[in-house]
Amino acid sequence: MGGIDLSDGVHGRLAQLNAEYARAIDDDRLEEWPDFFAEPCLYTITSVDNYRQGLPLGVVYADSKAMLRDRVTALRRANIYERQAYRHVVGLPAILGESDGALRAETPFLVVRIMHDGRMDLFATGRYIDVLVEEAGALRFRERVVVCDSKRVDTLLAIPL
């Protein structure tokens, strides 16, 4: 595996990846969500305080694509939660650097939650801290750490951020 060519429109490719990622979640195409990740991978949702303190576990933790698929299966078949949808607003990514063939980036986000009765709430704001790799000509997340700005995490967090 070679490195990611930083001169090859990587900002645009990363912005497109983030847009497609958000659309898959917002359009309830959750079965596609694991495909945005490399294998092995890490996906976690944590608070800004836990992130600053270097505490490794978050509210959600998955360290393989199989765990991501299991999460989707559980959402579809086992978990009981109030019907809801998300609308992501994703900012422009900042490239933080490259090492060992992987790209490090940070992207701000805002998520509005839409409940089944039409009520809309600001659900989460924060940033994605990503490590990305090239797989078969496409960028994939090796790590996506979702760092929420608030210390409070809503108990209705079911759908991936």
Q: For the segment 123-147, what is each residue's pLDDT rounded down to a tens digit?
A: 999 999 999 999 999 999 999 999 9
Q: For the segment 30-43, what is each residue's pLDDT rounded down to a tens digit?
A: 999 999 999 999 99
pLDDT band at 1 (very low <50, low <70, confident <90, very high): very low
What is the per-residue pLDDT for 142?
A: 98
Pairing of strands 37-47, 138-148: parallel
82 CB neighbour count, 10 Å cutoff: 10
Tell me the three state secondary structure of residue 62: strand
- Whether 107 is covered by a domain: the verdict is yes
- Whether 86 is covered by a domain: the verdict is yes
- Whether 120 is covered by a domain: the verdict is yes
- Containing structural domain, residue 22: 10-148
- Whether 41 is covered by a domain: the verdict is yes
User: Are the C-beta atoms of 101 and 3 separated by less than 8 Å?
Assistant: yes
The count of structural domains within the chain is: 1
CATH number, residue 67: 3.10.450.50
Distance CA 49, CA 150 (A): 8
| Average confidence (pLDDT) over 93-108 | 96
Answer whether residue 2 shows pLDDT above 80: no
Strand partners, 131: 104, 143
- Whether 4 is covered by a domain: the verdict is no
- Whether 69 is covered by a domain: the verdict is yes
- At 22, which helix (H) or strand (E)? helix 10-26
| Average confidence (pLDDT) over 108-116 | 95
Q: For the segment 59-84, what is each residue's pLDDT rounded down to a tens digit?
A: 899 999 999 999 999 888 876 667 78
Average pLDDT, the chain: 90
